[in-house]
Amino acid sequence: MADDFDLDVTPEHDIDDSAVDALGYDELVGRISQLPPELRAPLGGILLEKRTYSDVSQELGIRQPELVRAVQRGRTIIARRIAAGE
């Protein structure tokens, strides 16, 4: 998808990302590994390692709002791919 690498893109309509929550650990690892590099560590820390936003943002050296945006963006990309059958 062309928008995968544009972190400022906002969805034109609401994306239901509940399918992301339903993924098993191994499938989530695979989905995260397909994301742009700048989204992998944020999602890995939050979704896989279940760490706090504070811990992950400190480790990555980014502000919490940036981390929140990265996690939301990554979840949206994964949800879109699931909806598209990818």
What domain range is 20 assigned to? 16-83
Residue position matching structure tokens 């598209």: 84
Residue 10 belongs to some domain of the structure: no
What CATH number did the domain enclosing 28 receive? 1.10.10
pTM of the entire structure?
Answer: 0.79
Q: How many domains does the chain divide into?
A: 1
Q: What is the pLDDT of residues 68-83, one digit of tens each?
A: 999 999 999 999 999 8
Q: Do the domain assignments include residue 4?
A: no
Distance CA 21, CA 12 (A): 22
* pLDDT one-digit tens code per residue, 6-62: 444 444 445 677 889 899 999 999 999 999 999 999 999 999 999 999 999 999 999
Distances (CA, A) of 22 to 7, 66, 69, 75, 77: 24, 25, 21, 12, 15
Positive or negative, the CA dihedral 24, 73, 35, 15 is positive
| Domain contains 59 | yes
Residue 66: φ, ψ to 5°: -65, -40
> What pLDDT shows up at residue 14?
56
Query: For residue 7, what pLDDT is reported?
Result: 44
Residue 58 lies in a domain: yes
